[in-house]
Amino acid sequence: MLAPSWRIIGKKVYWLSIPDTKSRLFENIWPIPNGVNYNAYLIAGDDEYLLIDSSKAIFTSEELVRVIKEITDPSKIRKIAVLHTEPDHSGLISGILSRIGNPIVYSTSRASFFMRSMFNLETNVVKDGDEITIGNRILRVIELPWIHWPDTMFLYLEDEKILFSSDAFGAFGALEKPVFDDEIDFVKYMHEAKEYFATVVVTYRQMVLRALDKVSRLGINPEIIAPSHGAVLRSRIKEFMKELLSWCNMEKKRKITIIYGTMYGLTEKLAEFAKNIISRKVEVVMHNAVGNDLNHVLSDVLDSAGVLFITPIYEGNIFPPITNLIELMRIKKLGEGKISAVVVTKLWGGAAANKIPILLKDAGYDVLSPVREYVNYPNESDLRDYEDFLQSFIDKVLENF
Ligand code: FEO
**For 155-190, how does the pLDDT look when each residue is reduced to its tens digit (9 = 90+)?**
999 999 999 999 999 999 999 999 999 999 999 999
CA of 202 to the centre of ligand 1 (A): 13
Calpha distance 377→344 (Å, rounded): 10
CA of 25 to the centre of ligand 1 (A): 13
Q: What ligand 1 atom has the least distance to the C-alpha of 84?
A: 2
> Is the pLDDT at 348 greater than 80, yes or no?
no
> Is the pLDDT at 350 greater than 80, yes or no?
no
Looking at 200-302, which runs of residues are DSSP E strands? 224-226, 253-260, 283-288
Of 355 and 376, which is predicted with more confidence? 355
Amino acid symbol at 288? N
> Is the pLDDT at 125 greater than 90, yes or no?
yes
CA of 89 to the centre of ligand 1 (A): 7
Does 151 sit in the ligand 1 pocket, CB within 6 Å? no
For position 213, what pLDDT does the model report? 96
H/E stretch holding 338 reads none
CATH superfamily of domain region 258-398: Flavodoxin domain (3.40.50.360)
CA of 93 to the centre of ligand 1 (A): 14
For position 106, what pLDDT does the model report? 98
Q: Do domains 5-248 and 258-398 have the same CATH topology?
A: no
The contacts of residue 131 (CB under 8 Å, 6+ apart) are 138, 139, 140, 141
Contact yes or no for 49/42 (Cβ under 8 A): yes
Among candidate residues 88, 8, 76, 73, the one with its CA nearest the CA of residue 41:
8
- What is the largest distance, in Å, between two alpha-carbon atoms of the chain? 80
Burial of 29 (0-12, 13-18, 19+ CB in 10 A): exposed
Residue nearest atom 3 of ligand 1, based on CA coordinates: 86
Looking at 242-332, which runs of residues are DSSP E strands? 253-260, 283-288, 304-314, 317-318
SS3 content of the chain, % helix, strand, coil (to 5): 35, 25, 35
> Is the pLDDT at 239 greater than 90, yes or no?
yes
Q: Where are the domains of the chain?
A: 5-248, 258-398
Secondary structure (3-state) at 393: helix
Q: Give the pLDDT band (50/70/90) at residue 376.
A: confident
Tell me what the pLDDT averaged over the chain comes to: 96
CA of 152 to the centre of ligand 1 (A): 10
Does 89 sit in the ligand 1 pocket, CB within 6 Å? yes
Q: Which fold has domain 5-248?
A: Metallo-beta-lactamase; Chain A (3.60.15)
